[in-house]
Amino acid sequence: MKLSEVLQDNDVFRIDGDYFKKEYIANERTLKSLKWSYLQKASNSIKSFGAYSLCNEIEYLDEGIPFLRGQNIKDGAVIFSDCLFINEEANQLLWKSEVKPRMVLLTMSGSVGESAVALEEWRYPINSNQDIAKITTAPNLNPFYMSAFLNCQFGKLQMRRLPVGSVQQHTFIWQLEKLIVPIPSDSFQVRIEKVFRAAHEGLKQSHNFYSEAESLLLDELGLKGWQPSDENIAIKAFSESFGSAGRLDAEFYNPSDSRVVEQCKSYKLGWQTIGEIIESITNGVESRVFVETGVPYIRVGDIKTLDIDSVNAQQIPRSEAEVLISKIRLKTGDVLTVRSGSIGQAAVVKEKDLESIVSSHLIRLRLKPDSPIRSTPLALFLSTTPGVRQIMMHSNGAVVPEISQPSLTQVVIPIIQEECQNALESLIAASDHAREESKRLLDIAKRGVEVAIEQDEVAATRWLDERLKG
């Protein structure tokens, strides 16, 4: 490129080859051939977190005001299931990062470029960390269209061009202000919003089905509405500590956890340990080399609501995967559970996941053919109160909780009656279907924006009509 071309509109003062890749230049020319605006002019405000020193003033809580991080935004949606919480005092201190309805949330660090819209139906206040930009769009820019654009290939290419930093990639507000945003007609933007809202309705249905399954399981076990007690004294025989438990620490004998175990053991059809119902148990394997195209490498963050997100997982080289798969080959119906970190997450392996490699922070459980508990009910049990409390009880580790294979095999599993297992599987299947339909609609919204950019609004509207029949 000529020096004059490099310096033209180059407010970021970048002269590195990565910034001037041919695909980035072509993308910019395509967008500037349309009616467009810089995001700075098409928005009323773009806010971030404020001073990084404010992090020292935050105390994270088990409940309170949701505090979103970059990892909570994925595929056009916000995932509240593993967010942190802060109190009202911290929320007022972090006023610049408070989330308001209809704001576009955009990740600026880590997985740069993930976007979602804050919905009016959420329970506010909600806050967010320094990795998320809060964009309040101007009247001529619909926030749902804006988010769909950022998540489509033309928006992703722009965002991929911006990050700076040798290790931790980061994007700054002044860079976001220079994003090129095509501005279609109001009617087309509203059309994209309707598809986006339908997708979120499907996601809400998915959560409702999953919550219903959790409620049914806890009700069946007599643990619905269970709360830990304030009692903190337990008297045990010395011989018991060196018997089956082999533990002397006070945490293992927490009265609340002991009551959960007793309740599971009192179930009408009896109980067995995980060790008695499984054919094999195996830790995942370690890999640190990632590539753009390869074999999915399933990590803790790729497990949500009993499902494995193998599509968006990191990829490892096929040559490495061919060696590792002999150690951790998957079968349909295997159950994966977290062994380190976010203990309590579990998922069932489906056909779409069979080529994946499992990380060392996960444990694979393979049930016996005649196991009285099937894969989905087991995974749900491990993800809810009775399973999580037991896994935490058997875990060790001073800072990060971790559970070993022998300890996991001691977890007590009630032999849930057949009718209840059938109902649980039906509800989880309905949840999976609603989630897949939601993802399909989000993909349609993104592709509709792409067609409008590649061709025109008429062609995009016709394409949307064909995909949304019925």
pLDDT tens-digit readout, 225-235: 866 655 565 55
pLDDT tens-digit readout, 144-185: 999 999 999 999 999 998 887 655 678 889 889 999 999 999
Sheet containing strand 295-298, edge to edge, reads 314-316, 295-298, 357-358
Show the tokens assigned to 186.
């109001």
Confidence at residue 217, expressed as pLDDT on a 0 to 100 scale = 96
d(CA 198, CA 201): 5
Residue 214 has pLDDT above 60, yes or no: yes
Angle CA(205)–CA(209)–CA(210) in degrees, nearest 5? 115
Confidence at residue 242, expressed as pLDDT on a 0 to 100 scale = 52
More reliable by pLDDT, 304 or 461 = 461
Q: Which of 250-254, 302-306, 334-338, 412-416 has the lowest mean pLDDT?
A: 250-254
Do residues 107 and 75 make contact, with C-beta atoms less than 8 angstroms apart?
no
pLDDT tens-digit readout, 354-389: 999 999 999 999 999 999 999 999 999 999 989 998
d(CA 410, CA 173): 51
**For residue 316, what are the CA distances in angstroms to 37, 121, 202, 321, 352?**
39, 39, 32, 7, 17
Show the tokens assigned to 69.
């991080």
Confidence at residue 246, expressed as pLDDT on a 0 to 100 scale = 54
Do residues 99 and 128 make contact, with C-beta atoms less than 8 angstroms apart?
yes
What angle, 0 to 180 degrees and rounded to 10, lies between the N-to-C axes of helices 22-32 and 153-161?
A: 120
Residue 35 has pLDDT above 60, yes or no: yes
Q: CB-based burial of residue 231 (10 Å sphere; 0-12 exposed, 13-18 middle, 19+ buried)?
A: exposed
- Model confidence at 56, pLDDT cuts 50, 70, 90, reads confident
- DSSP SS3 for 295: strand
Residue 45 has pLDDT above 70, yes or no: yes
What is the residue type of 333?
G
Sheet containing strand 115-117, edge to edge, reads 43-47, 132-137, 104-107, 115-117
241-250, 268-277, 333-342, 384-393: which has the highest mean pLDDT?
268-277
- The average confidence (pLDDT) of the chain is 89
Q: What is the pTM of this model?
A: 0.85
Do residues 369 and 307 make contact, with C-beta atoms less than 8 angstroms apart?
no
Beta strands in 249-300 (DSSP E): 271-273, 278-283, 295-298
pLDDT tens-digit readout, 105-140: 999 987 889 999 999 999 999 999 989 999 999 999
> Please, where are the H alpha helices in 85-185?
88-93, 143-151, 153-161, 173-176
Q: How many CB atoms within 10 Å of residue 250?
A: 10
d(CA 37, CA 414): 60
Residue 60 has pLDDT above 70, yes or no: yes
Confidence at residue 252, expressed as pLDDT on a 0 to 100 scale = 59
More reliable by pLDDT, 8 or 378 = 378
Confidence at residue 218, expressed as pLDDT on a 0 to 100 scale = 95
Angle CA(349)–CA(350)–CA(354) in degrees, nearest 5? 80
Asked if the peptide bond before residue 369 counts as cis, ω within 30 degrees of 0, the response is no
pLDDT tens-digit readout, 304-344: 889 999 888 999 999 999 999 989 999 999 999 998 877 87
Confidence at residue 250, expressed as pLDDT on a 0 to 100 scale = 54
End-to-end CA distance of the chain: 50
What is the residue type of 117?
V
Residue 398 has pLDDT above 80, yes or no: no
